[in-house]
Amino acid sequence: MPRLDGKITPLTSALLLLAACIGVPTAAAERAPLISGQYPQQSVETGGYRYQLFVPEASDGTEIFPLMIFLHGSGERGDDIDKVKVHGPPKHAELEPGFPFILISPLLPADQDWEIGKLEAILDHALATLPIDPDRVYLTGLSRGAHATWRWGAHSPERFAALAPVAGTGDPHTACQLVDTPVWALHGDRDDVVPPEGSFAMARAIRNCGGQISRLTIYPDLGHNAWDPAYEDPALYLWLLSQRRARKKE
């Protein structure tokens, strides 16, 4: 059995793709053919965010995939859409054609912060136009993008199957909105840019509200860059793939 430790490899991606497709319907939808790979997209609304779109290699074009939305940090803001691929999931997807998610990575303009309305517009467009399982939508981000992951997740928890904020912090007053949303927060214990107390505070607040499904990983002797070990670990992707959006009872 191949090992699932270390960096993501083509073989690991193939295993993850198999995991992604287990239990996912494969009905042929009436959609335009998709081009596999990662390529830039224009904004879906005036004043919206441009984004990188990654589509996994598919055997016959009928697969329905989970969706991952990745929000980058402050260092990638600006006009260069390729900078979105410097860190995290889009970096790995660029090297791994079998990366087991449709991946959307928006670009935040210089000196701006993430706006939930603009992100919601991208998600709505993706669900309407791409072969996505709406019960397997995952949100992750690093640093400034992790702040937004906490914020958007608490604002619209019904939209996501799971959250994975890396080196970020949220507002503990919103934590009760995430009681039923699986969250895996990851942080370096020596982070002097965004202190790890931000992740501790959110994890404690969620549990104080009665949540029992949140997770917290603190990397020892690590500064702000928790995203390299977080996104290089296949365990994070396997955990995400195991989560499905909870259906509310009528």
> Rounded to whole angstroms, what are the CA distances from 121 to 31, 87, 100, 108, 215?
20, 24, 23, 14, 29
pLDDT, mean over the chain: 89
pLDDT of the residue at 3: 38
Q: 40-241 sits in which CATH class?
A: alpha beta
pLDDT of the residue at 231: 97
Residue 241 has pLDDT above 90, yes or no: yes
At 9, the amino acid letter reads T
User: How do the residues of the chain divide into helix, strand and coil, expressed in percent and rounded to 5?
Assistant: 35, 20, 45
Query: Whole-prediction pTM value?
Result: 0.89
pLDDT of the residue at 118: 98
Lowest mean pLDDT among 32-46, 54-68, 89-103: 54-68
* For the chain, domain boundaries: 40-241
pLDDT of the residue at 17: 57
Report the alpha-carbon distance of residue 197 to residue 229 in Å, rounded.
Answer: 19
